[in-house]
Amino acid sequence: MQGWHSQRLLESGDVTDPIIVKDKGLSSTPKQKNLKNIGVQKQKTPAGMDLVLSHETDKQSIAEVIDVGPPADWVKITVRETKDCFEIFALVPGLLREEVRVQSDPAGRLVIAGQPEQLDNPWGITPFKKVVNFPARIDPLHTSAVVSLHGRLFVRVPFEQ
């Protein structure tokens, strides 16, 4: 027995068999829509330098992230400003705690560096060094950093008192 969905109704009122369209290939990827540009132009930054913007309770902080050495686009860094510190979230997948170094200085710079033990790894993890420049002076003695098991780095950088 066929259901109503397996038949096709013509304009003349006649009922016919459904139109069956066969796939011409085995594509498992879904079709993607092309999104229209809504008028916001992406600003270009010099190679190896990113501006990180974040909003927290109507505050805007701008931190400049610079690649020192070969670019490491696989390392993602987000900076957020709170009332008493900067919070940095970085994704460094594939690196262990011992392979990541974080250094800070009072002038408002934070250096995040990574050196994998195996340089010829199949995952494309390369040595990197990124410098985060803050718009304010920081307290390097109270800076704390934690690397999780899955390559998530959290750094808390308090303002200078």
Q: Give pLDDT tens digits for 3-54.
A: 545 555 566 666 666 555 555 555 444 444 555 555 544 444 444 555 554 4
**Residue range 152-159: average pLDDT?**
94
Model pLDDT, residue 101: 94
The answer to whether 129 and 67 have CB atoms below 8 angstroms apart is yes
Q: What is the mean pLDDT of the chain?
A: 75
Picking from 42-46, 61-65, 123-127, which range would have the lowest pLDDT averaged per residue? 42-46
Beta bridge partners of 129: 113
Model pLDDT, residue 44: 46
Is the pLDDT confidence value at 58 over 60?
A: no
**Residue range 109-128: average pLDDT?**
88
Model pLDDT, residue 124: 79
Q: Which residue, 63, 100, 87, is CA-closest to 144?
A: 87
Count of CB atoms within 10 A of residue 129's CB?
A: 17
Count of CB atoms within 10 A of residue 50's CB?
A: 16
| pTM: predicted TM-score of the whole model, two decimal places | 0.62
Which band of pLDDT confidence, cut at 50, 70 and 90, is reported for residue 56? Answer: very low
